[in-house]
Amino acid sequence: MGYVFNFPDIGEGLEEGIIAEWYVKIGSEVETGDPLVKMETDKVVTDIPSPRTGIVTKTYGKVGEVIEVGSPLVEINIAGEEEVKQEEVLEEEGAGVVGVIEVAGKDDVMPVSDEVVTSTKKVEESGRRKVLATPVARALAKDLEVDITLIAGTGPGGRVMKDDIRNFQSNMNGKQTDSNSKALSIEVSKDLDELGEVEVVQMSQVRKTIARNMIHSKQNAAHMSLFDEAEVSELVALRDKIKGKYQEQGVKISYLHFLLKAIALTLKKFPSLNSVMNMDEGTITLKKYYNLGLAVDAPQGLVVPVLKNVDQLSIVQISQQSNDIARRAREGKLSMNDLKGGTFSVTNFGSIGGRFAVPVINYPQAAILGAGKIYKKPVVKNNVVLPGVVMPLSISVDHRIVDGGEVTRFMNDIIEYLENPYLLLVE
């Protein structure tokens, strides 16, 4: 089967790149990961690896030509699969060489670009959507001054066609006529600045990175969340008993540190929650090491430094290392190694005050667990209502990898550890 590989967003948020060098030609045999082409964007030159194994049947563009992100780069005949289905390829009259074949795929809608020079305020405020469209349709949209990102395409894979542009324009003309009588209210709502004082601030690099990562996660993982509570009276008593002793040694032990240990031990029993899926290769990599990313609310924004091999650390060691890494995160002193190698993430929003949340997975990890604020509430023990202390827990998993029963059992085991914290001291 023919696989059309589109030029991916390599992470700068730019919309196009220049072909610097082709490594393959028609007939070249390529394996997954082999470099196909060297592309240059404003600040980066990068080899684009092949996503599939097969034989190159078509290349798009020559050295020096500009290719838009999301436009086709190469077509690969996947080994052992059928020939390219002709109906997947639709050309319109006068279509150019570059960008004619645009087969719908997972990259149909590209992440919002934040480095792009946008020409109108409207686009900046609403965000840009990358659309599939034939070159002819793009040219027509430009001629008619129609914003192609607002149009739902009716072509294969949602591709915008010439007729879509014309239909959209005629609809808009009708609406403009109808709306003339309401012009006043529309004009007022068009410019938010007239409603009151606003301040437009530049996004920091950190904020841009966070934004990209969040969108990437939401677009690529199938988020599913579960909420529960652990009754942690015994954990509170245990911590009260030992915290003074270690505080004298400069070690501040918190509930989070017990939770980290509980997560690391439980992950050993539930390997899918400590894994990464590769859809293209059809594999799931189960990681046999337990590195927990700690989401830290640093002054410059969210950062997620990684605590390594947590399953092998004592509660005191976890306390020492996590306090150190969180301090360095807040002071902006993390190294590259501090941010690498996480296998599962933890967010402790309860330290600020929330109880439940729907955490966003630190993609491509499979799960993230959030700890809420510990609080007192009545609990039933042995059919008697007693004052209890509970820790709210929220977990989000990638439902492509983790089933509902699995995450529920995972959560049950975490709760078991938190309600019987002495187990954490002996395991």
Q: Which residues are at the interface with other proteins (CB under 8 A)?
A: 10-14, 18, 20, 33, 35, 40-47, 49, 64, 115, 117, 204-206, 208-209, 212, 332, 335-338, 340
Query: At its nearest, how many Å lie between other proteins and the CB of residue 152?
Result: 30
Q: What distances in angstroms separate CA 231 from CA 69, 368, 377, 414, 417, one per listed residue?
A: 51, 21, 9, 11, 11
Closer to other proteins by Cβ: residue 42 or 194 = 42
In sequence order, the β-bridge partners of residue 78 are 54
Task: Determine whether 216 is an active site residue.
Answer: no
Closer to other proteins by Cβ: residue 204 or 314 = 204
Query: At its nearest, how many Å lie between other proteins and the CB of residue 43?
Result: 5
Let me know the angle formed at the C-alpha of 398 by 395 and 401, rounded to the nearest 5 degrees: 125
**Distance from chain centroid for Cα 101:** 28
Euclidean distance between CA atoms 41 and 43, whole angstroms: 6
Query: At its nearest, how many Å lie between other proteins and the CB of residue 252?
Result: 24
Tell me the pairing of strands 16-22 and 35-40. Answer: antiparallel
Which helix (H) or strand (E) segment holds residue 220: the answer is helix 205-220
Closer to other proteins by Cβ: residue 216 or 399 = 216
What is the four-CA torsion angle of 398, 400, 406, 412, rounded to 10 degrees?
Answer: 10
Q: What distances in angstroms separate CA 359 from CA 218, 264, 354, 356, 397, one per listed residue?
A: 11, 18, 12, 9, 9
Query: At its nearest, how many Å lie between other proteins and the CB of residue 117?
Result: 6
Closer to other proteins by Cβ: residue 208 or 400 = 208
Euclidean distance between CA atoms 360 and 210, whole angstroms: 11
Long-range own/partner contacts, residues 381-389 (CB < 8 A, 24 or more apart): 381/231, 388/231, 388/233, 389/231, 389/232, 389/233, 389/236
Closer to other proteins by Cβ: residue 301 or 388 = 301
Query: At its nearest, how many Å lie between other proteins and the CB of residue 137?
Result: 26
**Distance from chain centroid for Cα 206:** 15
- Residue 368: phi, psi to the nearest 5? -145, 140
Of 216, 223, 257, 399, the active-site residue reads 399
Query: At its nearest, how many Å lie between other proteins and the CB of residue 78?
Result: 21
Which helix (H) or strand (E) segment holds residue 138: the answer is helix 135-144
Query: At its nearest, how many Å lie between other proteins and the CB of residue 423?
Result: 32
Give me 403's structure tokens.
């089933």
Closer to other proteins by Cβ: residue 249 or 335 = 335
Closer to other proteins by Cβ: residue 44 or 79 = 44
Query: At its nearest, how many Å lie between other proteins and the CB of residue 268?
Result: 23
Euclidean distance between CA atoms 313 and 254, whole angstroms: 15
Closer to other proteins by Cβ: residue 127 or 244 = 127
User: CB within 8 A of 125, min separation 6: which ones?
Assistant: none
For 388, how many CA atoms within 13 A lie in the half-sphere containing its CB? Answer: 16
Tell me the pairing of strands 292-298 and 344-347. Answer: parallel
- Cβ–Cβ contacts within 10 Å for residue 412, how many? 12
Euclidean distance between CA atoms 26 and 55, whole angstroms: 8
- Which positions are annotated as active-site residues? 399
